[in-house]
Chain A
Amino acid sequence: MNAVSIYNLKKNYKKLTALKNVTLTIPKNKLTCIVGPDGAGKSTLLKIIAGVLTFDEGELYINDKKIVKISEMEDFKDKIAFMPQGLGLNLYQNLSIEENIDFFASLHDLDKNKAAKRKETLLKITNLYRFKEREVSKLSGGMKQKLGICCSLIHSPELMILDEPTTGVDPVSRKELYLLIHQFIEEEGITAVISTSYIDEAERGDKIIILNDGQIILDDKNFKDDINVYEISSPDFLEIYNRLNSEEYHFIKLNRDNIRLSPKNNEMVIKDWHQVKPTLDDRILSVIGTRKLDFIISPQKLRDSNIIDIKNISKNFGNFFAVKDVSLEIKKGEIMGLLGPNGAGKTTLIKLILNLYTPTSGYIKIDVPESELKNSIGYMSQKFSLYSDLTVRENLLFYGSTRGVSLSRLKARVEELIDLGNLKMYKDEIVENLPLGIRQRLALMTSIMHNPEIIFLDEPTAGVNIAERDTFWQIIRYLSNNHNITIIVSTHYMDEANYCDRLCLMFEGKISLIGTPDELKRSLEEKAGTPYLIETENPYLLYSELKQKGLKVDLLGNKVKLFTKDRAEALKNYDRIYKTEVTVEDVFVSVTEDEYS
């Protein structure tokens, strides 16, 4: 039984094609994840299903009823809940949590007593009950999203559509959101559709649909055609990488310590490679392909001197400590990743180093002459910081001339960067009309315009597709290895942590963990045990059982991830179980959960 069926759906906005020929079904009583980068057409698809957007061609069935005119959707509106994209954008910022829920309840004309009861249940499940009188504008991103879900669920809908509910939400809150949704599917039998740009989240759904450029590139049907993926992790992997011809591969992905690739020709052999189990990322990359930039990445240089020295730095706003007694040394040429939930102090720390905030106490020493400081720093802020009404070239010229690049060099430098960022075909386009990935690449180019010694990247790849992200990291790797530029990057994508030389996990203004990605994973495995995936008919039930036993578990779609040191114990109880790997996300979730408890 399908809640929604779509055949050959097409949608164009003025010039832009948003959806080309999409066919899919959404099963009842299941969680369907629609995954894709920004601009893939996720929002368009969800809005059409929610009945708030017209479409040009194709057929749409809701509960097996064909929708011919959009006005026919009105009959379903009390049965559908839709939460639009953006952190709590559909909530009323000046109203309290309770007032928001009350508004949605009476908008759907619910019985007062029933609504009050349901409100209490929802608030308690989401742990928002304590804050029910707080204004929405004072909530964190995660809390806003939870409230958004409460508001969409108040009228007990049959179909719940959430457009990117996890963007800008940290992994712990993300995990909680999915648990919440699973709980409602389990207990109330609703159907849920979620869109996300995080591929790792896709596994949390019962059904996965991967969208790219207005088309479905992967869903359950073509999952079975397997691909061959290899990893090269020999010490000379960089030299091998530089020699690879990208035409011969479906994709080549450069990680910190290895290369992951999938050859087009199955006969092909490269020494020292070993086959690995393809992940969802690999499958997607094999469809959309990667682009290897034509520069030679030199091997990592010896990193001995510190460029940034942070000693006991604190910053408080009123009596709230955004950063508390943080000490950190960053080596020249290093790629340092800053991870942490929203409000952990990552952005504040970056702004302190940038001298956008003055510290309350402590000091920061940057090994660059004072007078050169502003010209030695490149910064790509969290908010898109280019002038979107200027062209690519105009943006570059503007940044160069305002950052001390001499006029005689400016033209040549701009051309260099256009080449480096592979922006040639876009150079005279207005930035606003460009896809997000290109814009982010341009933002990176502007931040390195003046050959800075240190570059700060605050969530540079949010919403960018994974092939584009690989390109992005090739550039960052090149800058670090070839030019010995120090890079400090904050990100929400846990898989990106694998690109960093060192990771620094922040929590509530303090550093909780610091080390290389491998060190961190190993220490979690030592502490919590080996991770296993268990396939089961009713994952939610199993999850709750194991959780109650005090075991460390996570829910991934129809699988449960279990950490245990007692392998025999695990194998005894479940048939379909296999060993898996610790991810940085696991480390992150574990640290944050420890901190909370």
Chain B
Amino acid sequence: MNTHKMKTIFIKEIKELKRDKISRIMVFLLPVVILLVFGYGMALDVEKIPFSILDEDNTFTSREISYKFINNYRYYTFKGYVKKQSEGIELIDRNRIRMLLVIPNGFEKDLKNGRGSSIQIIEDGVFPYRASISKTYSNIIINKFNIEKLENKNIIELFIDLRIRYWFNEEMRQKNVTASGVLLVVLFISPAIFASLLIVKEKELGSIYNIWTSSISKKEFLLAKQSVAVMISFLNYFILFAMIMVLFKTPFKGSFILFTISSFIYILVSTSLGILISTFVKTQVSAVVATSIICIIPSILYSGYLTPISSMTNEAFIVAHLFPNYYYFNIIKMSFLKGFNLNIFIKNIIILMFFYLFFISISIARFRKYQC
């Protein structure tokens, strides 16, 4: 390999980037925008659900249970009483509230008579995930209420106590996962787009002929281009890492050096994928569109970022293992949540290296120094 020729390409790219204001902004702005949008936008925590109460019973117990909901400020925000069920449903329709708590007539009486009693929650089903979460919160409140009552009446002393421990993420802060997981998306899409543009740009404008007619080898050319994309993306990695720590205050449990190494390898993978895509497309616009579509699906759908790998159907489970994103996400989760484990680290790193070698060798094989 002729490192001198590679250095030439490298320096030329850096100079061009310095002169081109718009692409310079894009290269650094795009990852930050994705981080902000995903970091804040993928915050799926359902909190402060607006709700109303229809208290048909209007007794001490009904008010007592109402206050259990009203005073739960973290999860619910009380928006007032309604007089009729239809009134409450209209509020749901108008997106003023997401839940209506209905305490039926005779609620207290039934309870006092030793019979069971029931209350109803009416959820807005438009956002199904939010409805399920809201139902869970209500359940917990009601169960707690039941247990307190039963204990007070000495019907049972101690109930079955389900002690829930959230491993790796004690407070169940979703942002710990969504924010750190942004690295998974950003360091995949943005380096890939950048790397593919670096090559397609020359194809579209015609300067690729300089490469075709020179004696620089395919390997030298592609690796030189890749090193530019890797350098810029690596710089972005540090910016993003700092932003995640500062803006989202996520804890970090791994080794920074090892995490940085793994991110570097992940960037190698994504840039080589970008280069591979560039061997298929001719124009810069199609490079941007194709790379985004190709990168978004595995990094969001099949990485375990939103839906756990373990809950996937068998085919999806297998597919997930065929993408590099899953392995980097393992390292992210390990570094930000689970704590360091050398075995898992090495295993995932090796697999990522394989992806890199695979992508880059197909790229080199596919790239041609001539037209057909």
Contact = CB atoms under 8 A, between A and B. Distances in A.
Interface of A: 47, 50-54, 70, 73-74, 77-78, 80-86, 89-92, 94-95, 99, 103-104, 106-109, 135, 151
B207 A107 contact: no
Contact of A108 (B15, B205, B212, B214): B214
B19 A78 contact: no
A531 B371 CA distance: 46
Contacts of B210: 90, 104, 107, 151
A95 B370 contact: no
A92 B198 CA distance: 13
B209 A106 contact: no
A80 B209 CA distance: 12
A99 B369 CA distance: 24
A542 B212 CA distance: 38
A221 B208 CA distance: 36
Contact of A81 (B20, B211, B213, B216): B213
A109 B217 CA distance: 13
A92 B12 contact: yes
A95 B16 contact: yes
A51 B15 contact: no
A46 to B, nearest CB: 11
A108 B4 CA distance: 9
Contact of B213 (A51, A70, A99, A135): A51
A256 B209 CA distance: 43
A7 to B, nearest CB: 20
Q: Which 4 A-B pairs rank lowest in CB-CB distance, beginning with the nearest?
A: A89-B206, A94-B19, A106-B8, A82-B213
Interface string B199-223: 0000001110111111110000000
Contacts of A151: 210
Contacts of A83: 209
A94 B18 CA distance: 9
30 contacts: A51-B213, A52-B212, A52-B213, A52-B369, A52-B371, A53-B370, A53-B371, A53-B372, A54-B371, A70-B370, A74-B369, A77-B213, A82-B209, A82-B212, A83-B209, A85-B206, A94-B15, A94-B16, A94-B20, A99-B12, A103-B12, A104-B210, A106-B7, A106-B8, A107-B8, A107-B210, A107-B211, A107-B214, A109-B2, A109-B215
A89 B369 contact: no
A333 B265 CA distance: 72
Nearest to A80: B213
Contacts of A51: 212-213, 370
A91 to B, nearest CB: 7
A109 B5 contact: yes
Contacts of A92: 12, 16, 207
A433 to B, nearest CB: 18
A51 B211 CA distance: 12
A313 to B, nearest CB: 35
A77 B16 contact: no
Interface in B311-370: 369-370
Given A51-B213, A52-B369, A95-B15, 14 more contacts: A47-B371, A52-B213, A52-B371, A74-B215, A80-B213, A82-B212, A84-B209, A89-B205, A90-B206, A92-B16, A95-B12, A104-B210, A106-B4, A107-B211
A136 to B, nearest CB: 11
Contacts of A108: 214-215
Contacts of A85: 206
Nearest to A44: B371
Contacts of A47: 371
Contacts of A90: 206-207, 209-210
Interface in B179-232: 205-207, 209-216
